[in-house]
Each structure stands twice: as C-alpha cells, then as structure tokens.
Amino acid sequence: MTGNAADAQTTPKKIPAISMLPDGSELKGVMLPRYDEAHKLVGVVKSRTMRLVNAGQIEGDTVSIEFFNPDQSPKGRIDLVSATLYQEKGILTTKEPVELKSNQMTASGSGLYYAFKQGKGFLLGPATTVLKPTPETP
C-alpha cells in the first residue's frame, strides 16, 4: 500500500512520553494521530494495548492504521491482529493476519512491513487483492 507526499511527511517520531516509561510498560486504548505540515490530520494509529519493549520498539494488539484525505474523509485503513513499531526506523511489522481497505481495493495477507516515511508497504502472502473499478465521470 502506498501513501502520498503528505503521508511521507508524517514519519512517526519517537513518542516523547515513551521515554519516561520503563521497559515493559503497558498502555491501553492508545491513539497516535499523525499530522501534515499544515497540521491537518492525515492518519491515526490505534491499538487496544501497547507494550514498551524498549526505547525504540513498541508492540501492539488489535492495531488499526487509518488514512485520511485532505478533506478529512476516510482514505484507507489497515487492520492488524498485532504489530511491532520500530520507532527509529519508522517501520511497522507483523506476521499476523492483515486486512487493507480503501475505495479502490481490499487486500488481505499473512503479514505486513510498512514504512511510514516512504508511505509504502509489503503485504506477505498468501495474499488476496480485489481491485475495484474507478467510477467513470460523465
């Protein structure tokens, strides 16, 4: 799944509050919004629970990543059973089932590598992708 230039400008930076917590800390009901340079919401990462493995690695359960268009309408969504965020690399990974949904497609696979800075990901197989035709404009 690829993002646009606005997504590329929203690489997750180290979460400041994390540096104050000891390794092994667990947070519930976490929501991490991402904004572009104009302070418009471009995405949000949500997790039922997050565990701080160490200063650079966070693991989450029941994770979703939502993307928004400039008008704040939904652009797409990735649903993950669990995921690991490597903060310094800006990479999210999972080897659990994944579902991707957008207006143009739906896809599912057995894992995902997603690079926030590049706005690109790699879906692990076996994978299924269904492309939806774009409605024609009269």
Secondary element (H or E) of residue 8: helix 5-8
- pLDDT digit string, tens, across residues 1-40: 444 444 444 444 556 566 677 888 899 999 988 888 888 9
> pTM of the full predicted structure?
0.78
Per-residue model confidence as pLDDT tens digits over 95-138: 999 999 998 899 999 999 999 878 889 999 999 999 988 777 66
Q: Is 6 helix (H, G, I), strand (E, B) or coil?
A: helix
Residue with tokens 């939904």: 74
CB atoms within 10 A of CB 58: 25
Give, for 67, the enclosing helix (H) or strand (E): strand 57-68
Answer yes or no: are the C-beta atoms of 96 and 109 closer than 8 Å. Answer: no
Read off the pLDDT of residues 72-101 as tens digits, 9 standing for 90 and up. Answer: 899 999 999 999 999 889 899 999 999 999
Nearest to 36 by CA among 82, 70, 81, 71: 70
